[in-house]
Chains A and B, each alone.
Chain A
Amino acid sequence: MPVSLLWAVDVYGRVYSLSTAGQQWEQCRDAQMEFKRVTAAQQCCWGIACDNNIYLNVHASDLPVRYQEETYENQRWNPVDGFSERLLPSDRWQWSDVTGLQHQPLDSFQLPSSSWEWEGDWYVDENFEGEPTEKGGWSYAIDFPATYTKDKKWNSCVRRRRWLRYRRYKAMDTWAKIPSQQTTLPDPFSDISCGGWEISEEPRGRLSLWAVSLQGKVWFRDGIYHHNPEGSLWEEVFLPGEVIQISCGPGDLVWAVLWEGQLIVREGISRDCPKGSSWAVVESPSPDVGAIHVAVGINVVWAVTKDNKVWFRRGVNSHNPCGSGWISMVGEMITINVGLNDQVWAINCEDRAVYFRQGVTSSELSGKTWKAITVPRDGDRSHSSFSFLSTLDSAGCYFCGEVRAQSVVSDAESDTEKGSADGANIGSAPPAVPEEESIPGEGEVKAPCAGSALSPSQSGGPLDPQWSNVDLEEAQQAQTVAVQDTADTCSLSSVATYTLAMEDPYGADEHPLWAWVSGGGCSVDSHSQLNWFNFSMNTLVSSVQSMSLSVSPAQTAAWRRQIFEQLSERTKREMDNFRHYEQAIEQSVWVKKGTMQWWRDWKPHKWIDVHFALEQFSGPDGNKDGILFIYYNYYEEKKYLHAFINEVTILVPVLNDSKHTFAIYTPERTKQRWPIRLAAATELEMHDWLALLSVSCCDSRGIHGPPSKQAIWSITCKGDIFISEPSPGLEAMPYPTPCDQMFWRQVGGHLRVVECNSVGIVWGIGYDHTAWVHTGGYGGGFFQGLASSTDNIYTQTDVKSVYIYENQRWNPVTGYTNRGLPTDRYMWSDASGLHECTKTNTKPPSPQWTWVTYVSFADFVRRRRWARKCKLTTTGPWQEIPPIPLSDVTILPCTAQSSVDVIPVWAISNKGDVLCRLGVTALTPAGSSWLHVGTDQPFKSISIGAASQVWAIARDGSAFYRGSVSARSPAGDCWYHIPSPAKQKLKQVSVGRTSVYTVDENGNLWYRQGVTPSYPQGSSWEHISNNVRKVSVGPLDQVWIIADKVQGSHSLSCGTVCHRLGVQPVEPKGQSWDYGIGGGWDHITVRGNSVEPPRLRLPSLTDPSSRNPVPVRNTEVNGVGN
């Protein structure tokens, strides 16, 4: 879990943050003034300061926020001047946007605010649709508007070129004022809440920001996304009443509290309409006491009523944003906040401490207990009363706004209290009145909202009594208690406490008094280990000590070293001289049996019940071995199938929605493309079997512990990660180890891309673009206990979107309908249209996944795409590298002799930025920071060769070569544009020692001809193969691919690992393919394998490495076979 921050404001308006790895509140010293409220996202924090302006603090990132401005220069040819700026009166502006409709000369571009600066001056873009243009960057056409080409022809009468200029957001890590819109904002803001980043595909781009003004109006900030962090303008949102506070969750939940104490829920929020369309009203949890505060997450709503009671809303999700009922929770709080992963923080009304809700999981959203965060603030002990006084002054003035605002609330509330004292019925009557008013009020709101046919508010209205009945039953019991308390607890004790605190500053300094907390940027979950508790000033020293013990790399702790050393001494002392003694316990056969289902070999294929047994025994040389048996009935006849454990090459979990299945391959079955497929009764049973079989396979091959540095890594289309230890003969000439004999074992985790090199640096990228670095451990996932290391395993999550399509057919009578023809695609299908899905039957990819957001849609012409995100939580030897999401990464492949200290790592961010990682060494594989490398368009693939030659593919499908990359200049100096093969758009590149291979979007594999040290860009592309999905070229220039459509003797497979045979220095293109494991494979990297094959001239018997056909544990780096 990467480090992230919890933000809070104390009663004096000082802003603090607490790191998830930290043990003290750090004051945000940059803040020149006091703040009332803050609301955080992972990449920034918004706040309302005491001057009532809104400020934004964008966290510094290695990836700068850049915005590309563009404008077009247009010219027409005339016989006198040739091409000139003299245009016809009917023509477009001489300077215009791409459509020609907007007049935009260079000097019309202004910086949007003082937080921006220009990166450089305007320049001409010389790249035209992936092709370099003649000097000047002009493209030609017959007339405006028309199709432009880069070549000037006889009939080219007009031309245009694109000018570019970048501006950069400079106000990083500082509170920058958002320029106010004088015209439309009459009154200052009193509350603010950001969220909504989960609605859209872009993981960290777009944000929704909601604000409440002192007059109770609600505003939505439009146009906030990565390249425009400040947003563009405030839009007013019409309301059924006056709002005092609002909360926006990471997804599509937005709730607000009305003056009268009811809550309103925004409906109709989707990717295309982040602002939503209408409001629905939800009654306060208790009929007599209005709500004062609300906080929402993805699937939760928490509320606080004026008597400081805490409430949890049941049954909230995207389909039902209003939820179904209130549950009274323990604790008395003044405010509450929901952060990432639906985690909850609150400020207690008694001691003003920040409390964290422990035990909140996706299955138990309401959590277990409140736990106080007891860490001190920085400088808590050094703070003198002097520094305190200075803040007092400002505190006095800045709260006046808020105090005034709230005093109105307390007046209103004391009225109702009086009412309830006077007569029993009156207390409940007043809240009923605004409720009736609010429904017609909402009817008015509906009108401007584009008259959406199905109004959620309509369905919300009649529903009200229904759910409020439910509420009342539940809430009533808590109510009796709550009402009694109201009398003596001042519901707005917040105001009173401020005064108290100000009168007694010394008392206050003993422990902080908090006013506001925001966990929107704080990434914790129920697995996180936090050091925020168990902390009091007295135990500070001892806790720090214990911290340092657990934080210091545990592996290097002296006590651990001592144990390892002494155990090996003990082995020497007590065992080494006595190996000839007889063992007290004879090794015997151990059999494990079970029942499973087997996908039978004969037709018609189907699942049949079988008995399954694994017999393990010690081989004659002490190696463990085993046989697995499948006992089945064939036409009433008992038969069995068996496989030797030492012949099994891989165990692949094949999770689908109805069965827990896995496949067992041997070399023979890989050739057939027909594995042994088995299904266990439960997921747990399957994992037990997989873990056991896997240990057994590894034992029989003598493979233990972490992967070697030479390991080959691959990933299946399910995101499962496999590694294979390359045998020394794998790249031998002319008889390499056949690919189908490679043994693969699984490591925990879930990735889309993995890349490695031969010094043991391994990076991965998840489906959600999170970057991960391999910790050097093994196991994780279902490999618990022995098959897994203990220290290097961390929790890993991944999120992926699942799409289903709604297909409609045009019919001459009814137009597009969902009534299809029998031959048509299913009405609901996957992208291919061949597989039937429905909104209800579509399950997550496997039982490991859970849905996190619900179906939302994007319109297509005749089919609509519904997207849904699901989330997987597993464990593996991976640690997150925050914060920039990546789409590709490459690590310098080191050759056997090289001794590189700092290893170049290049990556592409998910927005297409090219990044160069600094500080990557064998000891610090995650590196330290990113260096941004500018490009004129987004990139999508990158690869660095052994001689630091960097190649990349841009989004337009053309290739780029980076010049002058070296150890002294890790980012190089400039890009050389290399056109793609004719009419093909490249999508991926891999560079080995000298070879450069690319794959295009049509599955063709290309080799770059003519690459020499003096001319590294090469001269032309040569076609090698088709049906290729991905290529990986290693430090020996070995070429491996993932191929589609490989025909086996029993079945066809897509996504197959293949090895290029016959690759030699004189023939780098090789001759033919050898087929390995698959289908279902998505990615492979062989860039760690720098083991030179044994020389052919050496008789193989004298080569020590070839005597051992299986990979040896802890194969020394770069040493074998040379």
Chain B
Amino acid sequence: MADDKDVLRDVWFGRIPTCFTLNQDEVTEREAEPYYLLLPRVSYLTLVTDKVKKHFLKVMRAEDVEEMWFEYEGTPLKWHYPIGVLFDLHASNNVLPWSITVHFKNFPDHDLLHCPSNSVIEAHFMSSIKEADALKHKSQVVNDMQKKDHKQLWMGLQNDKFDQFWAMNRKLMEYPTEDGGFRYIPFRIYQTMSDRPFIQKLFRPVSPEGSAHSLGDLLKEMYPDAITNDGEQKRYQVVIHGIEPLLETPLQWLSEHLSHPDNFLHICVIPVPTD
């Protein structure tokens, strides 16, 4: 039987085959070939697309190039969401590879954050980890870490070093046995149908009576529509890392094993495809 550690590996090494095509409105010197890449699900678009940028810049004039941004079927892709979340949310039921359009003009300021350098991604990533640890351990673990430990987490993600990252990240996943879990579970629930970016509230892994909360318990409280009641047609899929865990899955286990490197459990609620 597979081991829980294998889940961590599978989560970390999840890849989305992607085809990048240049937006047709871009001015090019010659035709731009599409660019194919395996994107790590747990990373960020702007962190792993240096090669894409280099590829398209070859056919463009420098004066036509502004900040690069990505779009899928008309939706600008928020680089500060993990890649896997973007894919699950917008494209999970479509044909692979995932086809992303690359833009170098008309940056949609009202939809996207600017990302002038990797240090912006690092700051975003580290602040997520700190926020998550505030929920899990009142920030005690992350504050006990040294600067180099923080760096190790970031470098692990940036260089796709699973061992390096987890050697440090395991400390963020510990909790006192008698508590039965973290203080609160850091989670975010995403949906396409709403203007709200995501749902994030305080939720404990263990009920006041001492029983473990499940994924279903969380959704019941945060997003009751996502749950299919008896006799109903299933309307929504609850997707984490491209899979649909059973609703009885303990939330604490999910938080330990299916969280992204930013230590949040990113849950996508998407409508069931109608075909």
Contacts and interface: CB of A to CB of B under 8 A. Distances in A.
Interface string A128-158: 0000000000000000000000000000000
B5 A789 contact: yes
A534 B208 CA distance: 8
Interface in A1031-1090: none
Contacts of B212: 546, 549-550
Interface stretch (B10-18, B59-67, B129-137, B226-234): B10-18
Contacts of B209: 534, 539, 542-543
Interface footprint category on B: 35 or more
B167 A570 contact: no
The listed residue with most A CB atoms (<10 A of its CB), out of B40, B51, B178, is B178
Contacts of A61: none
Most chain A beta-carbon contacts within 10 A, residue among B49, B97, B250, B258: B250
Nearest to B16: A574
Contact of B242 (A535, A574, A785): A574
Contacts of B16: 574
A785 B171 CA distance: 9
Contacts of A585: 40, 43, 48, 158-160
Contacts of B11: 567
Contacts of A556: 1
A1055 to B, nearest CB: 33
A577 B97 CA distance: 10
Given A543-B209, A563-B249, A575-B17, A584 B39 contact: yes
Contacts of B43: 584-585
B246 interface: yes
B90 to A, nearest CB: 15
A584 B243 contact: no
B177 interface: yes
A1106 interface: no
A790 interface: yes
Grouping DSSP codes into helix (H, G, I), strand (E, B) and loop, the B interface class, with mixed when no group exceeds half, is mixed
B193 interface: no
B211 interface: yes
A584 B37 contact: yes
A841 interface: no
Given A578-B15, A785-B167, A542 B245 contact: no
A364 interface: no
Contacts of A581: 15, 17, 36-38, 97
Contacts of A104: none
A583 B38 contact: yes
A802 to B, nearest CB: 31
A581 to B, nearest CB: 4
A706 B170 CA distance: 20
Interface in A27-62: none
Nearest to A696: B163
A584 B51 contact: yes
Contacts of A549: 212, 250
A705 B248 contact: no
A784 B170 contact: yes
B31 interface: no
A706 B2 CA distance: 10
Contact of B178 (A358, A545, A563, A692): A358
A575 B14 CA distance: 8
A555 interface: yes
B236 interface: no
A250 B76 CA distance: 70
A848 B162 CA distance: 29
A543 B211 contact: yes
B211 to A, nearest CB: 3
B20 to A, nearest CB: 11
B245 A559 contact: yes
A571 interface: yes
A917 to B, nearest CB: 24
A775 to B, nearest CB: 12
Contact of B36 (A550, A560, A582): A582
A563 B243 contact: yes
B3 A584 contact: no
Interface in A772-803: 777, 784-786, 788-791
Contacts of A573: 96
A578 B10 CA distance: 16
A590 B159 contact: yes
A562 B36 contact: no
Given A529-B177, A790-B5, A578 B38 contact: yes
A618 to B, nearest CB: 11
Contact of B243 (A555, A558, A566): A566
Contacts of B164: 590
B7 interface: yes
Interface in B164-199: 164, 166-167, 170, 177-178
A695 B51 contact: no
Contacts of A560: 249
B161 A786 contact: no
Contacts of B33: none
B210 A539 contact: yes
Contact of B48 (A534, A542, A563, A584): A584
A546 B210 contact: yes
A588 interface: yes
Contact of A567 (B10, B158, B163, B170): B10
Given A559-B246, A791-B3, 4 more contacts: A562-B249, A563-B243, A564-B6, A692-B167
Interface of B: 1-8, 10-11, 14-17, 36-40, 43, 48-49, 51, 96-97, 158-164, 166-167, 170, 177-178, 207, 209-212, 241-246, 248-250, 257-258
Shortest 6 CB-CB distances between A and B: which pairs? A534-B210, A546-B211, A578-B17, A566-B243, A785-B170, A584-B48
23 contacts: A358-B178, A529-B177, A534-B209, A534-B210, A542-B209, A543-B211, A563-B257, A566-B245, A570-B14, A570-B241, A574-B15, A577-B17, A577-B96, A578-B17, A578-B97, A581-B36, A584-B49, A705-B5, A785-B170, A786-B170, A788-B5, A789-B3, A789-B5
